């Protein structure tokens, strides 16, 4: 999990990826590889990413295994982050 978090931090800080969509897709790909290999680590990664990027002050309550963490892990494991699932489309 620490290696996946380090990779996501490196992706976020990479100046050559100046497109936030590309950064998001690359980070989702890292998360997917983690949850496919160790599903129990998905909620921990979600919580750590939330804390690192200061998305919320209640990251544990929102992304722990007993909250949305397990569901988020399932969604990421099934997502095609490099395809349409990882793109924002306007309606």
Which of 21-25, 53-57, 65-69 shows the lowest per-residue confidence on average (mean pLDDT)? Answer: 21-25
Cβ-Cβ contacts under 8 Å for 4 (sequence gap 6 or more): 30, 31, 33, 34, 41, 45
Whether 91 maps to a domain, the answer reads: no
Query: Hey, what are 51's tokens?
Result: 């804390």
Residue 89 lies in a domain: no
**Whole domain around residue 11: which residue ranges?**
2-84
Q: Does position 56 have pLDDT exceeding 70, yes or no?
A: yes
Position 19 scores a pLDDT of 78
- Please give the share of the chain, as a percent, with pLDDT higher than 70: 96
Task: Decide if pLDDT at 87 tops 90.
Answer: no
- Rounded Cα–Cα distance for residues 91 and 73 (Å): 26
Within a domain: 31: yes
Q: What are the tokens at 78? A: 């099934």
Residue 90 lies in a domain: no
Question: How far is it, in rounded angstroms, from Cα 35 to Cα 89?
Answer: 25
CA distance 35 to 22: 20
35-54 residue pLDDT tens: 999 999 999 999 999 999 99
Identify whether 60 is part of a domain.
yes
């Amino acid at each position: 999990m620490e290696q996946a978090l380090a990779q996501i931090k490196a992706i976020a800080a990479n100046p050559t990826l100046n497109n936030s969509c590309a950064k998001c897709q690359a980070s989702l790909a890292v998360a997917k590889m983690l949850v496919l290999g160790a599903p129990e680590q998905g909620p921990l990664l979600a919580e750590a990413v939330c804390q690192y990027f200061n998305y919320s002050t209640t990251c544990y309550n929102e992304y722990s295994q007993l909250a949305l963490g397990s569901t988020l892990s399932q969604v990421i494991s099934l997502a095609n982050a490099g395809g349409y699932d990882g793109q924002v489309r306007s309606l």
